[in-house]
Amino acid sequence: MCCFSRSSFANEAKRLLPEKESKQKIFIKQVLRVMKLTTILLLFTCLAASATGFSQITLSEKSVPLSNVLRKIQRQSGYDILYRYELTQEVGPITVNVKNVPLKEALDACLDGKGLDYKIVGKTIVVSKSEQKRDVAPAIKPVRKEPAAPPRINIVGSVKDSTGNPLAGATVALKGTAIATKTDANGNYSLSIPDEGGTLEISYTGYNTVEIPVSKTGVIDAVLSLADTRAEEIVITAYGEKKMREAVTGSVTTVNPENLRIPSSNLTTSLAGQIAGIIAYQPGGQPGYDNAQFFIRGVTTFGYSSSPLIIIDNLESSTNDLARLQVNDIESFSILKDAGATALYGSRGANGVVLVMTKRGKIGTPVVSGQFDNSLSRPTKNLQLADPITFMKLYNEASVTRDPYAGERYTADKIYFTQQTIDKAPGYNPYVYPVNDWMDLLFKKYTNNQRANINIRGGSNLAKYFVSGSYNVDNGILKVDPINNFNNNVKLNSYQLRSNIDMNLTKTTVLSVLLGGIFDQYNGPITSDPSGASDLWNIVMHTDPVAFPAYFLPDSANLYTKHLLFGNTNGGLSVNPYANLMRGYSQFYRSTINAQLNIAQDLKMLLPGLKFSGMISTTRFSNYSINRTYNPFYYAVQNYNAVKDQYSLLWLNNVTDGNKPTEYLDFSRSPNIVTSQVYMQGVLSYDKTFASDHNISAKLIGARQERVLSTSANGTFDGSLQGTLPYRNLNYSGSVTYTYARKYITDFSFGYNGSERFSEEKRFGFFPTVGAAWVLSREKFWQESFLADLISSFKLRGSYGFAGNDNISGNRFFYLSNVDLTGGNGASFGVVNGYSRPGVAISNYPNPLVTWERSNQLSLGAELTILKDLKTVVEVYKQKRDNIYQTRLPIASMGLETGIGANLGKAESKGLDLSLDYSTMVAKDVMIAGRANLTATQSKYIFNEEPDYPGEPWRRKTGALINQRYGYVAERLFVDDQEVANSPYQFAGTMGGDIKYRDVNGDGQITTADMVPIGDPATPQITYGFGLSSRIKQFDIAFFFQGNAKTSLFINPQRRKPVFRWWSTGQYHALAAGVCR
Amino acid sequence: MLQAFADDHWSESDRNLYALYPRFATASNQITNNLQTSTWWMRNGSFLRLKSVELGYSLSPQLLQRLRIKSLRLYASGMNLLTISGFKLWDVEQGGNGFAYPIQKVVNIGAQISIN
C-alpha cells in the first residue's frame, strides 16, 4: 500500500498507541513495519497519492475487492487508510453504491456487516476487526454476511490425482468468491456455500485446475491431471519475461527442465537432442573437463566467437556456471534463436541466447525437497590394444618393411620369453621380460559418484524464499598406488548454494535478493595437455608394452627405499605411463559467487500497466591452481643370470641437476585467475489492453556491464596496459508489441549498443528487428470449419532483423595503436658494440574503421496443435553474417610488424528446427508422452579473405562449409614402389602400401594445391533426439535416444602413429619437470 | 597399438590396397605421406545413442502420510547405455579426440523426497 510510505502517518500512529489497548498488538506490528519501510521506501514516496480535500464520496462498485474500494475512498477523501490486507481478503468482493455522501457514510456502507470496524484519527482512517468477529471458525473461510442470507448447502467430496491417490491440501473454492477450503489428509473436503449454484474451482500445485458446476446432489469428486506440459505453454523470453507462447513472434524454445534430468553432474551434457535449435556434442568424459560443446542453430560464423550468450537469472554466465546448475533449481530453460527473440540483448545475442531462470519461493508452508543419487560410471568404450607379442612382431615388421637392413628390434628370444611371462611358463621373469597391460595398470574398470540436492521453498504474502544446496562428487577412473600418500585420481567435489528471496515491500514493490555460489574443488593427475584434461590415454597408446616393467618390487639392495621403483629403458629414458600417473597431482579451487539485488515496482498509480525493475549485481570468479609433483626414480634390470634367475637393479637417473629424482613433492603454482563483473540493468515495461481487443506492450531497457580480469582467460598475465583496463559494454534496447484480438501480433524491437572496442564513430551499433504472428485458429472461418477439430491451434509467425557481435577478435582496442618503445629488436653501436638502443615493437596499428560483426536473420515458424495432443513447432531460418573480422592477406608481406584486419568476411547459414510433443491419458491411470526434436543447419562461407586461386577454385573457402577440413583425396594404397615411381610425386620416402592421393589440378605432383574441402565439419550439422515416457499407476518409465549426423571424424594421423615410440629423451625431461606445454 | 590396426594393415605378404592402416613404419619422418590430412582418415561421425533411460516408483501417499512425507520416488536410471555407430575404435562422440578420457556410461539409483 502506498499509504504505508508516509512518514507523517507513522508519527500519527505512534501517538495513538496508549489510547487503544485492544488494538495495541496489531498496531505495534504495523508501526514497526511502517517505520522500517519508511526509510527503505523514501525512494518511492513519489508514488504515494497526494490527494487533498474531497469530503464527498461517490462509489459505484460491483463485486470488487474491499481493498480496491478503500483505495478509492482514500483517493477521493484525501485521508490515509490503514488496514491489514488479509482482513480485506477475508471479506471477499463487495458491492457498494453511494453518491456524494460524507466520508463516514461511505465507510459505513462499505464495512457494515463485514465484521470490520473503523476509527478516524486526524487525517487517518484505521480499519480493524470488530470485536464480535473474533470467534469465527477458521476452517471454512468466513462468508460475507448479507442481511437476507440465502439458504446454504453443504458440498462434500474428494480430490484425487489421475492415479487414484488422494490429494491432501488441494484448494476447493467457489469461483468468484472467497469461499474456499482445503482437502484433508485423505483428500476429502466439505464446503458450505450459498444455495445459488455456481462453479467449484479445484486446484493443486503442479496439477491442472478443474472447474465443476455445483450439483444438487451435494457430492463433487474431482480428479486432477498432472500439469506436465504447462511449462511449454508459457515461454520465457528476453530478460526473463513470461509470455504466452501465442503472443511471441520471435523464435523461442522453452524446455521442461525435467527433460534435462540425466544421471550426470554436468547439465551441458544433457542438452543435445532435447531442445530444437541446439547442436551439441561432448568431446570428453573427464570430470571437470567434460563440458559439452553447444551452439544455437549451429556454428553460424567463422569469426572469433560462435558461442551463445548464457544468461542465468539475467546475468551473463560462463559455461561452467551452466554445467553446475542443478535441474532441481531450474524454473525455466529457454533458448532464444532468432533476431526477434534476441533483439533486446543486442550486441551479445548474435550467436543466440541460453536463458535460465532459477526457482523462486512460493506462497505456502515450506516444502523441503531432496534428491540423492549414486552412480556407477565406466567408459562407453575402451580402446582395444594389441597384445605384446603382436606388438613386437609388428614392430619388427615395421622396421624391416621400410629398410631391409634396419634389423629387428625384438629378438626371437625376447619374444619367446615374453610369451613365457604371459603364460607364467618356465624361464619367465616379469621384470626381465616385462609385459604391461597399460590400460589395466592405469585405469579402473568403473567408478562411483554421488550427488545430493536439497531445497526449501515457501513463503507468505510478505516474502517468498527458495534456498537450495547441492553437493556432487565425481571420481575418475584412474588407479592410485598405495605407496603414494596422496590421491592422483580425478575427484571433483562441487558445492552449490543458492538463495532466492523476494520481499513484498509494499503491494506494488518487490525487492529480490539472489545469492548464488558455485565452489569446485578438483583433484586430478598431472598432465601436459594445455586444456588440463589427462593425456594418459595418448601416452599409453604410444608406449612400448614390453620395454620395461611399470615398477619393480624392491630387491635386496632396495628393501628400505621409500619411493616407488619405476621401470624405464637403460640408455636414454622414455616415458613410463605408470610413473606419469603416480608422480603427483594437480588441484584447482574454483569459486563463482554472485549477488544480485533486484527491485520491481509496479507503477500503476502513475499509469496502469507500467512497471519498472532495476537490478544491480556483481559476480566474482576466482581460480587457484597448484601442481604437486615428484621426479620419479627409474630403474632397469642389470646382470641378469637366467640360470639362477637373479638380477640387480640399476638406478638410471642418478643425476644432480634439476631433474634429480625426489622422494618429496615439489610444487608449482599457476597465476591466480580473478574476475570481477558488475552488471546493472533497468527495465521499464508497459502492458495494457484497451477496449478488450487491443493490447500494447512495450519495453525500454538500459544495461551496462563491466568486467575486470586479473589474467587473460587462459590464466596467463596480460602484461600490457590494455589487459588491466576494465572491459565495458553498454546496451540500450526496446520493443513495442501490438496485439489485436489475440489474433494478429506485430512487434518491433531494437538494440542500440556501445562497445569499447570500436572508435567513437563506429562504437554504437543499431540493430532493429520486426516480427509478426497470426493465430489462424482464432479466426472465425477456422473455428467454424472442420479444421478446428483436426488442428485446434495454429499460429504462423516470422521475424526479420539484425543482431550484432563485438567479440570479433582477441584484439582489445582496434582504434588505438599499441606500441612498445623498448620491446623490439635493438641495435648496438660503437667499436665494441658498447652502446645499445632498444627497438620499437608494434602490436596494433590503429584502425578506426573496424566495427560490429552483423547478423541478418529471417526466421519463419508454424506452431500447431494437432488432434488436441500433438504439439508441433516447425521453423525455418536463414541467417547472413557480414562484417566478420579478418586479417587482410596482401598486406602481411609488406613489411608491417603485425597484421591489419577489417570487417570483410561473410557467411550464410540456413536450417530447420522441428519439435513434436505428445501427451495423453490412455486410461484412467496410464499416461503416455512422447517427444522428438530435430535441429538441422548448414553454414557456408560467402566471402573469405583469400587469394583468387585462378584455375583452382576448390582451394577457395568461399562456398565451402564453415569448419570443413581441407585435405587430400585418398584413392587407395600404392600397390608397390613401381607404382609410386610412375605416379605424380607425393612426399619424400613414399613406398608401396602408402596412401595414394589424387592429383586434383593435374600438374603431376601432389602439393597443397591438391587439397580440397572434404567431409562434413567436426561440429555436427544435425542433432536430434526422441523419447517416450509413461506413467502407469505408481510406476513410471522413460527413455530417450539422441543422435548426431552430418559430421565427420578424423583419425588424427599425427597422434595415432601405431608402432614407433612417441617419446624421446628430451621430451621426457620436459614432462617430468611439469613444464611441457 | 590399436588392435584394429594390428588386424588390418598393409603388409608385404598381404597387399590389401584398402587396408585400415597403410604400410607400417617406426619413425614419423618415414611416413610424412601418410600423416597428411586426407579422406583416408575420415570417418562418418554420425551416431544414435540411448542417452537416458529411467524406471521409477512412487510410494503411495497413504503410506507416506503416516511418515509425514509428501512424496517419495525411488528410481533407477542409466545414461549412454547403448550407442549405434559405424565407428568402432572409440566413442564416436569424442570425434578426433579418441585417445583421451572416455565418455562415461552410467548406471544410477536415486531417490526424490518431498516433505511438507
Report yes or no on A17 lying in a domain. yes
Indicate yes or no: CB of A993 within 8 angstroms of CB of B102: no
- Structural domain for A107, as ranges: 2-133
A31 with A93, same domain: the answer is yes
How many CB atoms neighbour CB A315 within 10 A?
21
A606 touches chain B (CB under 8 A): no
For chain B, say whether A104 makes contact (Cβ under 8 Å). no
B91 and A CB contact within 8 Å: yes
Contact A710, A674 (CB under 8 A): yes
The tens digit of pLDDT for each residue in A490-530 reads 999 999 999 999 999 999 999 999 999 999 999 999 998 88
The A residues from 446 to 475 touching B (CB cutoff 8 Å) are: 449, 451
Say yes or no: A276 and A251 in one domain.
yes
Q: Do A1038 and B6 touch (CB under 8 A)?
A: no
CB B31 within 8 A of CB B22: yes
For residue A309, give the CATH number of its domain. Answer: 2.170.130.10
Distances (CA, A) of A369 to A470, A847, B56: 12, 57, 17
Distance CA A897, CA A899 (A): 7
Nearest-CA distance B20 → chain A (Å): 10
**Within-domain flag for A917:** no
Could you say which of A320, A340, A362 is where a domain stops?
A: A362
Q: Are A319 and A310 in contact (CB under 8 A)?
A: yes
A27 pLDDT higher than 70: no
Same domain, A197 and A99: no
Q: How far apart are CA A693 and CA A681, in angstroms?
A: 32
* pLDDT score, position A53: 38
Higher-confidence residue: A349 or A332?
A: A332
CB spacing of A993 vs B10 below 8 angstroms:
yes
Based on the fold, state whether residues A210 and A328 are members of the same structural domain: no
Compute, in degrees rounded to 10, the torsion defined by CA atoms A316, A933, A229, B79: -80
Say if A369 is an interface residue toward chain B (CB within 8 Å).
Answer: yes
Evaluate whether residue A658 is within a structural domain.
no
- The per-residue DSSP string of A638-670 comes to EEEETTTTEEEEEES----STT---SS-EEEEP
* B9 min Cα distance to partner chain A (Å): 9
> What ipTM does the predicted assembly reach?
0.96
Residues A122, A62 share a domain? yes
Question: Stretch A790-805: mean pLDDT, rounded?
Answer: 91
Q: Give the end of a domain, one of A98, A133, A168.
A: A133
**Same domain for A220 and A274?**
no
Last residue of a domain, one of A362, A387, A406: A362
How are the residues of chain A apportioned to helix, strand and coil, as percentages rounded to the nearest 5? 20, 45, 40
Return d(Cα A573, Cα A551) in angstroms, integer.
Answer: 14
**Cross-chain residue pair B116–A289, CB shorter than 8 Å:** no
> In terms of DSSP bridges, do strands A124-129 and A116-121 run parallel, antiparallel, or are they unpaired?
antiparallel
A368 part of a folded domain = no
- Closest approach of A217 to chain B, Cα-based (Å): 28
Span A708-730, mean pLDDT? 76
Query: Which of the two residues, A819 and A915, has the higher pLDDT score?
Result: A915
Predicted local confidence at residue A37, as pLDDT: 47
The answer to whether residue A813 sits within a structural domain is no
Q: What percent of chain A is predicted at pLDDT more than 90?
A: 49
Cβ-defined contact of A1060 to B28 (cutoff 8 Å) = yes
Average pLDDT of the segment spanning A999-1008: 92
B34 touches chain A (CB under 8 A): yes
Pairwise CB contact (< 8 Å): B92 & A1049: yes
**Strands of A815-852, DSSP E:** 818-829, 835-844
User: Is B99 within 8 Å of A369 when comparing Cβ atoms?
Assistant: no
Least confident of A70-79, A465-474, A602-611, B16-25: A70-79
For residue A51, is it within any domain?
Answer: yes
The residue in chain A having the minimum alpha-carbon distance to the alpha carbon of residue B29 is A989
pLDDT at A229: 43
Integer Cα distance of A226 and A163 in angstroms: 10
Give domain status of residue A352, yes or no.
yes
The answer on A337 and A245 residing in a single domain is yes
Contacts of A993 (CB under 8 A, 6+ apart): A401, A973, A974, B10, B11, B12, B15, B22, B23
Cross-chain Cβ contact A367/B70 below 8 Å? yes
Closest-CA residue of chain A to B54: A1038
Q: For residues A10 and A109, state if they share a domain.
A: yes
Write out pLDDT tens, residues A101-154: 888 887 887 777 777 778 777 777 877 777 543 444 444 444 444 455 557 778
Task: In whole angstroms, give the CA distance from residue A418 to residue A546.
Answer: 8
Q: Note whether A429 contacts B: Cβ–Cβ < 8 A.
A: no
Q: What is the pLDDT of residues A427-452, one digit of tens each?
A: 888 999 999 999 999 999 999 999 99
Distance, CA of A447 to CA of A428 (rounded, Å):
34
Say whether residue A308 is in contact with chain B using an 8 A CB cutoff: no
Contact A898, A842 (CB under 8 A): yes
Same domain? A267 vs A328: yes
**Inter-residue contact A36 to A22 (CB < 8 Å):** no
What residue in B sits closest to A455 (Cα-Cα)? B114
| pLDDT for position A230 | 39
Across the interface, of B52, B53, B57, the residue whose CB is closest to A1035 is B57
pLDDT tens column, A875-908: 999 999 999 999 888 665 677 888 888 999 999 9
Higher pLDDT, residue A659 or A372: A372
Which pLDDT does position A145 carry in this prediction?
Answer: 45
A34 and A129 together in one domain: yes
Is residue A801 domain-resident?
no
Question: Which residue type occupies A502?
Answer: D
CA–CA separation, B39 vs A283, rounded Å?
21
Contact A384 B3 (CB under 8 A): yes
Nearest Cα of chain B lies from the Cα of A1053 at a distance, in angstroms, of 5
**Same structural domain for residues A183 and A239?**
no
Q: Does A262 touch chain B (CB under 8 A)?
A: yes
Check CB contact of B13 with chain A, cutoff 8 Å.
Answer: no
Chain B residue closest in CA terms to A997: B38
Q: Do B3 and A386 touch (CB under 8 A)?
A: yes
A1014 and B102 in contact by Cβ < 8 A?
Answer: no
The verdict on A8 and A129 lying in the same domain is: yes
Min Cα separation B61/chain A (Å): 7
- The model's confidence at residue A580, banded by pLDDT at 50, 70 and 90, is very high
CATH number of the domain within which A56 lies? 3.55.50.30
pLDDT at A241 over 90: no
Total tally of structural domains belonging to chain A: 3
Asked if B50 reaches chain A (Cβ–Cβ under 8 Å), the answer is yes
Could A1041 and B49 be called an inter-chain contact, meaning their C-beta atoms sit closer than 8 Å?
yes
Is A734's pLDDT higher than 90? yes
Mean pLDDT taken over chain A: 84
